Chain A
Amino acid sequence: MDFFLSRYRNITVLLIVIVGQLLLIAYQVKSNRDVPLVRVWAVTAVTPVEQALEVVRTYTWGFVEDYFVLLGVKGENDRLKRENGDLKMENHYLKAELSTADRARALSVFQAQTQSKTVAARVIGNGTGANSKVVFVDRGSASGVESGMAVVTPDGIVGKVVDAYPTASLVMLITDPTFAAGVVSQKNHVRGTLKGQGHSECLVDYVQNEERVDPGEMFFTSGDDRIFPRGFPVGAANAVRNGKTFKEIYIAPSGMQGGVEDVLIVLEGVHQQIPEGESASAGYKILQPAPADTNTAAPSDPAGTLVTDADRLKAQYKQAGQDQNHVFGEGVPGSKPPDFTKIPGIRAATPTPAPGGAQQPGNAAGKPGQPTMPVQNGLQNGAVSAPPKPATPTAAPPAADAPKPKPKPTAPILVTDPADADPDAVVPTAPKSTAAPPGPAQAPVQPPVQPKPAAPKPQQPPNQ
C-alpha cells in the first residue's frame, strides 16, 4: 500500500481531488441544493472590493479626465484654466448627476406606477464564465431579495435572481443560455417560451408554425412561469420565420438596450394587463355599419327604431287597431277584433280552411263563418288580440258531457302561448261555464286531433 501511494502519489491526489469535486457536484445537482458557505465566503470577499472600486471610479474618473485635459495649460492662463477646469469638472459632475437623476426618476416613476413591490438596485459586477450572462447587484437578502425574484427596468425585463447573498445578489440575465420565461405576443396573443441565446437576441420557442406572429410585434411576460408578473414588456420581434415544427422568433430585449445599470427587483409581483395593440385582423378593411333603411321603416316610426320585420308588423297591427278605435287588451271576451285585412300591404286572409295538414281546432270543427285570423309571417292567431277561445289550441277542451277522448300517443306539437307571442295582447280566460273540466287530454300539449264524426264540437262563445 505504501509502495502504491508513494509510486502513484500524484495521480492518487489528483483522483481524490477530482472525485471529491464530482461528489460535490453530484450532491448539488441531485439534491438541487447549493453550498452556500463557499459562495458566501467568495461573494463576501469579492463584492465589497467591487463596491469600493465602483465608488472610486465614480468619484475619481472626472478628476482624472480633467487632469489630462488641463495637463498642457500655460502658466499665465492658470487661473482661467483652473476656472475652466472647475467648470468642466462641475459640468461632468452635473451631467453624471443628471444622468443618474434621470435614471433614478425613471425608476421611481415606474416604481410608483407599477403595482408590484420593487426595490432598486445597481449592477456592480459581472459573473464568471464566458458563456454565462450573470451580473451582481448591490442588493441582497438583507434588503428582502430572494432567489427567483424578477429583475426589471421600466423598459422591460432584465433577468431573475438566482442567488441572494447578504450584501449582493446574482442575477441571471435573459440572454443567458439557460434562461427561460413565459411570454405572450401583444397583437395576436401567441404564447411561447423566451430563451436566452448567449448573445444580444433571445429566442421565443414553442410557437407553432401555424400561429401568426408579425415582425415588430411586441412580446410581454405571460405570468405563466410564476417568476415574472404578467404584462411586463420583453421586446419586439426582430425576425420571424418558420422552423421545422416551431417558429423561430428572435426578439431584441427591450430592457437591456444600452446596457444594464440600474434595475428593479420585484419583491412582490402583481399581474398587469397586457396593453392592447392593433387589431388582430389589421390586414382586412372593415366597413362602417350600414345606415338604417328609411324606405322600409314603418310610417308610424319615423325615427327608425323599428329594426325587425316583426316590429314593423306589430306597429302596423297597432296602427290598424287605432284606426278602427280598437284598444288591444281592453275588449271583453268575444268582442269584435279589428279588421286586419285593411292593413295595406298585408294579404287578406282567406276564409277557406288551410288545405291539408294540421288544422286549427276551430276550423277542424267545420264551423262555417268562423273568423279566421290572418296567419302571416309566422304570426299565430290569438297573438294579436283576444280571439275566440276555441280558436286557440290550449283552450279547446272537449265538452263536459262528451266522452273523454283517449289521448293518442302522438308526437308532441308546438303549442304557442298567446301571452308569449305578444306581450301587449291580453288573453282573456275562458268562461268557466263554457270550459269543460280538464280531462286527461288537457295536458299542456294537445295532440292534433283529426276531425271525427263523433267528436264533440267545442262550444263556441257568442260571436260579438
Chain B
Amino acid sequence: MTEYSERADYSERLLERPVGKESPGRIRFVWLIVIPLIAVLSQVYVPRFVWFLSYLELPLLITVHFALHRRSPIAAVFYGMSIGLVQDSLSHQPIGMFGIVKTLVGYFAASVSMRFDVENPVVTFILSFFFYFFHQFFYWVLTRALLGEVVNFDAQQTLVFGLLNAAVALPLFRILDKLKVAA
C-alpha cells in the first residue's frame, strides 16, 4: 500500500466518523415535502402583511437544517436543489439561480456538519449566519456573472439580515427537531 493510499484511507475514515453527536432521528418523508412548501409559501404570502419578513430566508434555513442533521452531502445537494428550483419557479429569474446556490449551501453544510457539533446553539447560530451570507453573496455573484445584471450588494445590510436569520434559526431548528422520529 502506497503512502498516498494510506493517507486517503485515513481521510476517508476521518470523514466517515462525524465529530458531532449522533443524530437522534430523522424527519418523516412527508415533512421533508411539506416543510419546504410551507417555507416557500410563507416567503411568498407573509410579506404582503408583514413587509420586513421578506428578508427572512426560510427555505435557506430549512436547507441548512436538513443538511446539518442529515449529514449526507448527496442528499443535501438534491434537497437544496429542489427547494432552490421551487424558489426559482416563483421568481422571474431563469430557473437554476437559487438552485445552484442552495445546492452549494446544502453540500457545504452537510460537509461541515461532520466536523462540528451542530447541536450546539452557538455553532448553529454561526453556521446559519455564515450560510446566509454565503447564500446572498453567491447569488449576487451568479446574477452578475451569468445574467449580466448590475445589482448592488449591500454587505452591511446583508450582515444584519444574516444575524436576524441566524436568530430565527435557533428556535426554528428546535421546532424542526421535534418532528424527528427515532431512527
Contact = CB atoms under 8 A, between A and B. Distances in A.
B48 A125 contact: yes
B74 interface: yes
Interface in A1-60: 7, 9-10, 13-14, 17-18, 21-22, 24-26, 28-29, 34-35, 38-39, 41-43, 45-46, 49-50, 53
A88 to B, nearest CB: 22
Given A125-B44, A126-B54, A38 B89 contact: yes
A369 B151 CA distance: 96
B146 interface: yes
Contact of B96 (A7, A22, A126, A131): A22
A19 to B, nearest CB: 10
A134 B74 contact: no
A129 B147 CA distance: 15
Interface string B72-90: 0110011001000111111
A146 interface: no
Contacts of A138: none
Given A38-B85, A178-B149, A14 B73 contact: yes
B92 A49 contact: no
Contact of A42 (B77, B89, B94, B111): B89
**Most chain B CB within a 10 A radius of its CB, from A50, A123, A127:** A127
Given A41-B89, A131-B151, A7 B8 contact: yes
**Most chain A CB within a 10 A radius of its CB, from B57, B77, B91, B92:** B92
A281 interface: no
A100 B163 CA distance: 40
Interface string A332-343: 000000000000
Contact of A128 (B40, B73, B111): B40
Nearest to A136: B44
B107 A14 contact: yes
Contacts of B41: 46, 49-50
Contacts of B147: 29
A10 B93 CA distance: 28
Interface stretch (B23-31, B97-105, B122-130): B97-105
A25 B97 contact: yes
B134 to A, nearest CB: 14
A127 B77 contact: no
B47 interface: yes
Contacts of B37: 45-46
Interface string B12-27: 1000000000000000
A contact residues, range: 35 or more
Interface string A121-152: 00101111111101010000000000000000
Nearest to A57: B49
A201 to B, nearest CB: 15
B78 A17 contact: yes
A26 B97 CA distance: 11
A28 B54 contact: no
A10 B73 contact: yes
B92 A127 contact: yes
A177 interface: yes
12 contacts: A17-B78, A21-B81, A22-B146, A25-B94, A28-B94, A38-B85, A42-B86, A126-B45, A127-B91, A134-B91, A162-B92, A163-B92
10 interchain residue pairs of minimum CB distance: A42-B89, A21-B96, A28-B94, A25-B96, A10-B73, A125-B44, A162-B92, A39-B89, A24-B96, A128-B87
Given A24-B99, A34-B95, A170-B90, 20 more contacts: A7-B8, A10-B73, A10-B74, A18-B100, A21-B99, A22-B100, A24-B95, A28-B96, A29-B94, A38-B89, A43-B90, A46-B41, A49-B41, A126-B44, A126-B54, A127-B91, A128-B40, A128-B88, A130-B54, A132-B93
